Amino acid sequence: MGRERLERYDLTGPENRAAVEAGLAGATWFRSAVPRKRMKELMRRSDAPAIRDTALWIGLMAVCAGAGIALWGSWWAVPFFLVYGVLYGSASDSRWHEAGHGTAFTTRWLDEAVYQIACFMIMRDPTASRWSHTRHHTDTLVVGRDPEINVMRPARLAKLLANFFGLVDVPLAFRAMAIHAAGRLTAEEADYVPESERPTVYRTARIWLAIYAVAVAAAIVFGTWLPLVLIGGPRIYGTFMHIVYGLTQHAGMGENVLDHRLNTRTVRMCRVNRFLYWNMNFHVEHHMFPMVPYHRLPELHEEVKHDCAPVYPSLWAAYKEIVPAVLRQMKDQDHYVKRELLPGAAPFHIPNELTDGRARPLAAAGSSAGSSAASSPAPASDPTAA
Amino acid sequence: MPQWIAACATDDVDPEDVISFEHAGNAYAVYRSPDDAFFATDGHCTHERELLCDGLVMGGVIECPKHNGRFDYTSGKALGAPVLVDVRTYPTKVEDGTVYIEVP
């Protein structure tokens, strides 16, 4: 059963079309009713916070890299490279994300510059990953549609654990670069990257491969690992924190539910984690209103929290739920974390067999799932979606 | 046959903002630029069927609330991924405090 269920996540498989026919793709999602005037305040862009945070991010990397180079050959270099690695291999994930939305800066070229740098560091093609993330926002945790479901049912535990050190994602990234450099896309990418955007994907891959080739050549010529510890290597030895943060977003939660309050977590984190993660711990809020810059998400949280399920008080609290849920899903793929909205929270879809979180097979159910009016996502009687 | 339709009062739209307007089953977005000029486009983003009136107006640009796609609302030009198709624009005029748009 596990293999059959995993196959349903394939964007090139029959579940994709079945989800479209069932009305699960491109559906209407819940949004809290925040007054327009307040939303405009929250959506307003500003360069200052992102310039400050980016200067700190790049500056810390430069300092740590400099200290690590100076101390190269001694164990004293290790803590500096550990910090450098986390800033490079983990913090780049949230910069990729925020700059990809175009919400980090007011000034477009600053946003694009940070996006391109972060994409290189996290090894995600800037064009393909932008489209992948666009789909993730349209069809969050919709089986067969969302290309960014990292924890499937059953979870591929070995892959998940290996990716704390990039051991699957990095080889896959180089494979994708090779495919792109040859002027092709992967089959899944072909599902969401428009034709007109594809030449950019190919050009980027060729440039990136040239940079990595120079780094490898420098390592060989000078007989040192240092160039690879600085370039590319942090995506292995410093990437674990982006997995720690990222798994809190959706792991173990309901699929096909069409309500981010039920398939996404908001987790309280300390200032250091929020700097590294650029406030993406307010993830329900981000999915509900992707226009709000990261530095305004705490304020947005105050506006919508009455409509949501209780916030997770810590990373520890989130993982106390995630680990048992994911382990149980290894045997029971109908299991998922059921989120209870706070009393008085605005209702939305009435759960039915399509949207109750189990994500039973659509393709196997045949046309009945797609054609039955009773099975279609049904709005509650008092939807307050904006 | 194109016709001028009263869409809203000028005061209904804040400067550098947008509101929605429906006519004959079609949605339109009516914009007021920072220098008090009025513009109109189709009401939905060309990428996915998302209402632009929930988005953010920044100068002469409207940003879609779902995927942050941007259009120049004065010309309708799509400004980059994920919007690749221009949004249709409509002529506007202001008479006696009312904004009119010319619809086909």
A27-73 pLDDT tens trace: 999 999 999 999 999 999 999 999 999 999 999 999 999 999 999 99
The strand order across the sheet containing B3-9 reads B3-9, B98-103, B92-95
Tell whether omega for the bond before A154 is within 30 degrees of 0, i.e. cis: yes
Q: Which of A43, A97, A127, A133 to mutate to test the interface with B (most CBs of B within 10 A)?
A: A43
Predicted ipTM of the assembly:
0.90
CA-based torsion, B12, B16, B20, B24: positive or negative: positive
For chain A, domain boundaries: 36-299
Domains: count for chain B: 1
Residue A384 has pLDDT above 70, yes or no: no
Q: What proportions of chain A, in percent to the nearest 5, are helix, strand and coil?
A: 60, 5, 40
- A386 closest CA partner among A136, A23, A29, A135: A29
- The average pLDDT across A243-271 equals 97
CA distance A90 to chain B (A): 24
Put simply, whether A138 touches B (Cβ < 8 Å) is yes
Which of residues 11 through 30 in chain A touch B, CB cutoff 8 A? 26
DSSP B5-56: EEEEEGGGS-TTEEEEEEETTEEEEEEE-TTS-EEEEESB-SSSS-BGGGSE
Specify the CATH number for the domain of residue B58.
2.102.10.10
- The average pLDDT across B40-54 equals 95
Rg (CA), chain B: 13
Residue A288 near residue A30, CB atoms below 8 Å: yes
Task: Report the distance separating Cα B71 and Cα B59, nearest Å.
Answer: 11
The kind and range of the H/E element at A70 are: helix A48-70
pLDDT of res. A364 = 58
- B12 closest CA partner among B103, B73, B97, B96: B97
Residue A10 near residue A364, CB atoms below 8 Å: no
Which of residues 98 through 137 in chain A touch B, CB cutoff 8 A? 101-103, 106, 127, 130-131, 134, 137
Can you give the residue range of the structural domain that contains B28? 3-103
Cβ within 8 Å, pair B66-A197:
no
Q: Which of B50, B57, B67 to mutate to test the interface with A (most CBs of A within 10 A)?
A: B67
Query: Which pTM was predicted?
Result: 0.91
Query: Which residue(s) pair with A372 in the sheet?
Result: none
pLDDT in tens, A266-276: 999 999 999 99
- The average pLDDT across A341-368 equals 79
Cβ within 8 Å, pair B55-A291:
yes
